[in-house]
Amino acid sequence: MSEQKSGSSGRIVLNVAIAAVVIAALIFGIRYYTRSDVEVRTAQVETGDMITTNSTNGKVEPTNNFQAHAAEPGSVEAVYVHAGQQVAAGTLLLKLNSAAADARVETARSAIAQASAAQYDINQGGSTDERVRITGDLDRAQLQLKQAQTDVQAMQALQARGAASANEVAAAQQRLATAQSSVQSLQSSGSASRFSSTDKQRVQAQLSDSRATLAAAEQTLHNSVVRAPFAGTVYSLPIKQFDFVGAGEELVQLADLNKIQVRAYFDEPEIGKLKEGFAVAITWDARPGKTWHGHIVRTPTTVITYGTRNVGECLIAVDDATGDLLPNTNVNVAVTTQEIHGVMRLPREALHTLADSDYVYIIDHGTLVKRAVKVGALNLMYVQIESGLNKGDVVALNSVSNTVDLTEGLQVKVVKQ
């Protein structure tokens, strides 16, 4: 009885298993024959150019800029030009009041004249009045000396005859010695040697100081009249007639706007990619649709802090400036750091990387096939294919829905773009 029950249970289990297999097969078959292929976007391997650019911001500045500043406080006497005016070299731009500078020039010239006269007098042994007085005194002293010599001789003759005492002879000799001393003193006073080297150095220092003061005063006077040192455009004129300006205050700026450059600021990781001569495209938000062209003339030499960034300053010459790119404007800069022509390329999104291996999925009769590739240059848009693919191969980019990951063997349907 129990054996019959055991056999019956075994048949039931077997029947259930068979039924499960049949149901699974039916489900698989239904899904297999009714499933929909995954829609994917594709791209063909093509021949094209690989161009890589690095973009940043920069500021326009003149290559040759003239700035005039007030040398001292004063008022603006006249302004002869207006902002934006093109002027020739030597054009009178403005004039400051120069009364104070004129007075300092005359004072310095007077001081030079006085020091020169003092130096001349020292070299000649004194002033004219002093020399005339000394000459007169010397003549009188020499007459007294002759008289004293005659008196001594007469006393000595009298003494020899016993008519004069020794004291009288001694007194005459004393008068002679005094007269000789006076003559020697006056002769010394009448020569240049009466002045010491310290006297000469003091007068020379006064003369040098007066000349330096004159040079400074004349420079200030010269700076009160501002002329254009070269032909250009007056692009900054912050003052007007009768304004009072302080020392160092800007008066005018002039530049040739056909010769300008851009000081661009590249983030530190990008500095190593820059080289002199690289082509540059420049745009300005105030002139949409307009592009200027240039090239790098100096790569960064150090890293500085610019706002919250660590950057290197790069100088870019603008090759096609025509005066419409204004100084001190903020511009956008795009430097071409890589330019390769006529290579096989794919959109970068087609490339997959796993464990340092690069591959793509080509489409073979509606099925994805994994294909290893060797890549070359990269930019934001494309990747260069050096080997592994042929021109015209169709490669999957991604699924239309972006909900299905691309895998080898996946059945796909190409969506025309």
Can you tell me the mean pLDDT for 136-157?
A: 77
Residue 351: which pLDDT band, with cuts at 50, 70 and 90?
Answer: very high
pLDDT at res. 34: 43
Give me the CATH code for the 53-63+256-341 domain, please.
2.40.30.170
Q: How confident is the prediction for the chain on average, in pLDDT?
A: 86
Average pLDDT of the residues in 217-227: 90
More confident residue, 288 or 125: 288
For domain 38-48+342-414, say whether CATH 2.130.10.10 is its number.
no
Per cent of the chain over pLDDT 90 is 52
pLDDT digits (tens, 9 = 90+) for 50-75: 998 999 999 999 999 999 999 899 99
Q: Is residue 21 very low, low, confident or very high in pLDDT (cuts 50, 70, 90)?
A: confident
At residue 297, what are phi and psi to the nearest 5 degrees?
A: -110, -20
pLDDT at 201 over 50: yes
CA distance readout (Å), 231 to 80, 238, 257, 260, 388: 15, 20, 10, 14, 61
Global pTM value = 0.61
Task: Identify whether the C-beta of residue 407 lies closer than 8 Å to the C-beta of residue 369.
Answer: no
| CATH number for the domain running over 65-92+227-254 | 2.40.50.100
Residue 32 pLDDT: 47
CA distances from 411 to 15, 36, 360 (A): 35, 9, 15
- Rounded Cα distance between 270 and 261, Å, is 20
Quick check: do 53-63+256-341 and 65-92+227-254 share a fold? no
Provide the 10 A C-beta neighbour count for residue 406. 18
Return the pLDDT at 31.
47
Q: Distance between CA 369 and CA 411 in Å, rounded? A: 10
User: What is the structure's pLDDT at 33?
Assistant: 45
At 214, phi and psi to the nearest 5? Answer: -65, -45
The domain spans of the chain are 38-48+342-414, 53-63+256-341, 65-92+227-254, 106-218
Query: Is residue 30's pLDDT more than 60?
Result: no
Eight-state DSSP code of residue 88: -
User: In this structure, which amino acid lies at residue 354?
Assistant: L
Neighbour-count burial for 300-325, b at 16+ CB within 10 Å, e otherwise: beeeeeeeeeebbbbbbbbeebeeeb
Q: What is the pLDDT of residue 82?
A: 96
